[in-house]
Amino acid sequence: MLAKNKGLNNKAGIHIGDALLANPDHPIEKISFKNVYLGDDGVLRILEACNGNKHIKKVHLGVISNEGMKLMSKVLMHNTTLKKIKF
């Protein structure tokens, strides 16, 4: 859980998403960014990781912009493994 982590910047989602995409067989099931702003690029990378890592079932994206919401609907359109998304 990376919730309320003041040290994270808007590039954190990109780096974490890259790590999840590089390791699609890693059995992480929940990711929480509660009260963290990932930026639109970070949200996009985390959502791409949710598509690429079928173990991820729940994600809490924290603070998300309107553009991030639009990206989410496009990226997750065909995702069948993600069960719960919170903001």
Q: How far apart are CA 73 and CA 43, in angstroms?
A: 12
- Report the range of poorest mean pLDDT among 17-26, 47-56, 58-67: 17-26
Tokens for 86? 């919170």
Contact in structure between 71 and 40 (CB atoms under 8 Å): yes
Residue 75, pLDDT > 60, answer yes
DSSP string covering 14-62 = HHHHHHHHH-TTS---EEE-TT-B-HHHHHHHHHHHHHH-TT--EEE--
Average of per-residue pLDDT across 15-43: 83
Per-residue model confidence (pLDDT) at position 62: 81
Q: How confident is the model at residue 6 (pLDDT cuts 50, 70, 90)?
A: low
Residue 47, pLDDT > 80, answer yes
Query: In the chain, where are the structural domains located?
Result: 12-74
